[in-house]
Structure 1
Amino acid sequence: MSIFCSMLDLFKNTPLVATVLSFLTAQLIKIITHRSLKAFKKYGGMPSGHAAAMSGLAFTLGRCVGYSSPITAVAVALLMVVVSDAVNLRPYVREDLGHSWIEAFAGIGVGFLVSHLLPARIPLW
């Protein structure tokens, strides 16, 4: 099997696709609300792209392998670390870096929606 065919298999990985789509959806919402392409690279703002990506991963893994799976537990723990960092730690480093709890929960909501719009089982297509 060629390397190219192996790389195409990444697009059949539903949790990876959900993670990327969740992040891109959150960033697209920022672009639309700010009416500027510069908002794509912005670390703060509504909704949190990092929280969206991690919740998309956690919810999709829950749907794919089960919510009682240790893999899902690791993804949820990582989601909690990312959200905690975004809300509690980053604003102390630099004022414009962090998120409010509302922005973080909006990102979690974006990830939830994206993960539930995709099919639960691999392969995606």
Structure 2
Amino acid sequence: MIKMKYLSDLFSNVFVLTALSSWAEAQILKTIIHAIVNKKLDITRICGDGGMPSGHSATVTSLATCIGLVKGFDSVEFAIAGIMAVVVCHDAKGVRLETGKQSTVLNEIVKTMELFTSKKLPEVKLKEFVGHTPAQVFAGVMLGIINAIIAYNFFI
């Protein structure tokens, strides 16, 4: 029965629940926004990377904000979560955004080579939706902060 206690503790942890709910909200919003913009529903967006808003940014920001509200913005826990949130958000709009751009170029190069050489190259399609624009990261950050404030005021 000790294992059940661990699961119970995990799923009653307000920090975990706030972060996971922020991720879920971001992913649902991302799917809806993608469907509106592209005029078709792509259910794979529910777990996909990239897009508006950033699920990564929403998740880590809500966790850091919730920790700050509960433990104090001068706590070591907030310092760790806050720094990690900055790193994740920076990475989402930096390295991961550039990776997506490079994937787009490489996918086009493969298509062009197939046209000019009449050879079928190995079927490797690189993921192009992996990073976020600054606006997508900002939207995720705002979603995370708002969700943490709501959780703090209603559930803590």
What is the TM-score when the length of structure 2 is the normalising length? 0.72
Q: Comparing 28-37 with 49-58, which one deviates more in the overlay? A: 28-37
Identity of aligned residues (%): 30
Partner of residue 54 from structure 1, selected from 57, 60, 65: 60
Shift in Å at residue 94 of structure 1? 2.7
Structure 2: which 5+ residue stretches go unaligned?
A: 36-40, 102-127
Shift in Å at residue 41 of structure 1? 2.4
Structure 1: which 5+ residue stretches go unaligned?
A: none
Q: Which structure 2 residues correspond to residues 41-80 of structure 1 after superposition, within 5 A? A: 41-80=47-86
Shift in Å at residue 50 of structure 1? 0.2
Instruction: Give the counterpart letter for 2:4 in structure 1.
Output: F
Q: Comparing 34-43 with 60-69, which one deviates more in the overlay? A: 34-43
Residue in 2 aligned with 1:20? 20
Instruction: Give the counterpart letter for 2:21 in structure 1.
Output: L
What is the TM-score when the length of structure 1 is the normalising length? 0.89
Q: String of CA shifts for 1:14-47, please: whole Å, max 9, x gaps.
A: 1111110010000010122223312112211100
Asked which structure has the greater RCO (Cα within 8 Å, sep 6+), the reply is: 1
Q: Tell me how far apart the structure 1 counterparts of residues 96 and 32 of structure 2 sit (CA, whole Å).
A: 24
Q: Is the 8 A contact 1:63 1:120 kept in 2?
A: no
Q: How many residues align?
A: 123
Partner of residue 102 from structure 1, selected from 135, 146, 150: 135
Shift in Å at residue 120 of structure 1? 6.0
Instruction: Give the counterpart letter for 1:77 in structure 2.
Output: I
Q: Tell me how far apart the structure 1 counterparts of residues 151 and 90 of structure 2 sit (CA, whole Å).
A: 27
Instruction: Give the counterpart letter for 2:32 in structure 1.
Output: I
Greater C-alpha radius of gyration: 2
CA RMSD of aligned residues (A): 1.8
> 3-state DSSP class of the match of 1:27?
helix
